[in-house]
């Protein structure tokens, strides 16, 4: 059940590529306080397509998938049908898990990650020298509780600490808490192996503006958006039994985010503004689609791999700088491709660990980041 509606690696990449503090913000710090040309936006039809991908894959697989439930362990019903033993999973690094399948189950999964910048990708995807080495260590924890056999609540707080090398040297003033996502998860289609039907889930939620974003003592402290953000996701999960009684679990997903409010910003902010600025900011829409594979070597050991595509429209910043001049800045749209190989070890149906690396290997207007990660998964 690993993974998340938030990618720490991609959040950090947004900082590298655009000097902004969250995945949703893409206004460059060098452009703050001056007009810029209108950036290209990801069209709405393409946004819808990203979210619809899990449905398309799920429908295509109805005739051939040997499906299982969602989650990890007996309580969560995630095992494939194996004649010799029940397969145990922790879950891949990036893929969102669906709703738990038994009322009253509680899942807890802390992640720990270090982000290492290795380069920048320009507007056409060419690698460029890195000037702002913005390192970060993060702790992301997933809390999930099943209200019914098909509906769960999920909360995912994040704490991070960052520092920079080079001309922009500096650190955060301490450990910083980011915005707080809270989601309701509904598994509207249960897995039925006999009819080759996968499990399908819908997530709906809001990210609350808990992170610092305005009147900052230093730019590195900007870890929030200052807005309430609507979140929706569709997920699919199915399990195939391969020759030799090895289980192969497939997950596909699509997510979409849109800010519901504007942020009132002043002075130094997450949006790259400087002292004396007063105005409003509105993060651009952003989202992700991808798939993961988890191959059971034996009951306890699993090899996992994620491949995901992210996109984000630029943030709009409007207001007056310290000289009283009106500014209207729109950041550039960005996108990236992420791969995340990992190894899982589960010593029981309820407890397991995962360790791996997420890496941005292609994209535009973003940073190239390698992020070693590990997590502990538990279900009670």
Q: What is the pLDDT of residues 278-310, one digit of tens each?
A: 999 999 999 999 999 999 999 999 999 999 999
pLDDT, one tens digit per residue, over 13-41 is 444 333 333 333 222 222 222 223 333 33
| CA separation for the pair 59, 290 (Å, rounded) | 16
Mean pLDDT of the region 240-262: 93
Using CB atoms within 10 A of its CB, is residue 111 exposed (0-12), middle (13-18) or buried (19+)? buried
SS3 state of residue 164 = strand
Using CB atoms within 10 A of its CB, is residue 84 exposed (0-12), middle (13-18) or buried (19+)? exposed
Task: Dig out the tokens for 24 from the structure.
Answer: 């949703």
Q: Which residues pair with 123 in a beta bridge?
A: none
Is the Cα dihedral 310, 187, 197, 102 positive or negative? positive
100 vs 56 pLDDT, higher one:
100
**Is the pLDDT confidence value at 4 over 90?**
no
| CA separation for the pair 239, 58 (Å, rounded) | 12
pLDDT, one tens digit per residue, over 308-336 is 999 999 999 999 999 999 999 999 999 99
**Is the pLDDT confidence value at 80 over 60?**
no
Residue 18: other Cβ atoms inside 10 A? 26
| CA separation for the pair 204, 214 (Å, rounded) | 27
pLDDT band at 220 (very low <50, low <70, confident <90, very high): confident
| CA separation for the pair 121, 127 (Å, rounded) | 5
DSSP letter, residue 332: P
Just give the CATH number of 1-6+70-379. Answer: 2.40.160.40
Q: Which residues pair with 280 in a beta bridge?
A: 264, 318
How much is the pTM?
0.81
Sequence ranges of the domains in the chain: 1-6+70-379
pLDDT at 167: 60
Cβ(80)–Cβ(239) below 8 Å: yes
């Amino acid at each position: 059940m690993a993974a998340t509606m938030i990618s720490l690696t991609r959040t950090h990449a947004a900082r590298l590529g655009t000097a902004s503090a969250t995945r949703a913000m893409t206004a460059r710090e060098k452009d703050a306080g001056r007009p810029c040309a209108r950036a290209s936006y990801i069209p709405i039809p393409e946004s819808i397509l990203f979210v619809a991908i899990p449905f398309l894959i799920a429908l295509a697989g109805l005739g051939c998938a040997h499906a299982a439930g969602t989650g990890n362990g007996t309580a969560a019903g995630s095992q494939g049908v194996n004649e010799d033993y029940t397969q145990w999973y922790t879950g891949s690094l990036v893929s969102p898990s669906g709703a738990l399948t038994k009322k009253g189950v509680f899942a807890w999964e802390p992640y720990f990650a270090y982000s290492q910048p290795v380069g920048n990708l320009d507007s056409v995807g060419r690698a460029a020298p890195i000037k702002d080495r913005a390192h970060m260590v993060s702790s992301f924890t997933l809390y999930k509780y099943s209200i019914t056999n098909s509906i769960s609540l999920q909360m995912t707080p994040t704490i991070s600490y960052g520092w920079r090398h080079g001309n922009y040297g500096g650190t955060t003033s301490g450990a910083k808490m980011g915005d707080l996502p809270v989601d309701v998860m509904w598994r509207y289609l249960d897995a039925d192996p006999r009819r080759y039907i996968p499990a399908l889930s819908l997530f709906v939620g809001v990210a609350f503006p808990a992170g610092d974003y305005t009147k900052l003592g230093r730019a590195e402290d900007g870890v929030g958006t200052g807005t309430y953000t609507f979140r929706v996701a569709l997920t699919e999960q199915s399990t195939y039994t391969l020759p030799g009684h090895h289980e192969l679990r497939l997950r596909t997903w699509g997510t979409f985010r849109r800010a519901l409010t504007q942020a009132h910003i002043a002075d130094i902010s997450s949006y790259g503004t400087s002292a004396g600025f007063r105005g409003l900011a509105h993060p651009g829409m952003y989202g992700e689609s991808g798939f993961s594979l988890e191959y059971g070597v034996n009951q306890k050991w699993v090899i996992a791999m994620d491949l995901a595509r992210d996109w984000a429209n630029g943030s709009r910043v409007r207001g007056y700088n310290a000289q009283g001049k009106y500014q209207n800045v729109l950041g550039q749209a960005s996108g990236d491709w992420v791969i995340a190989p990992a190894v899982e070890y589960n010593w029981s149906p309820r407890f397991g660990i995962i360790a791996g690396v997420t890496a941005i290997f292609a994209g535009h207007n973003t940073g190239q980041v390698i992020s070693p990660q590990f997590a502990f998964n538990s279900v009670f």
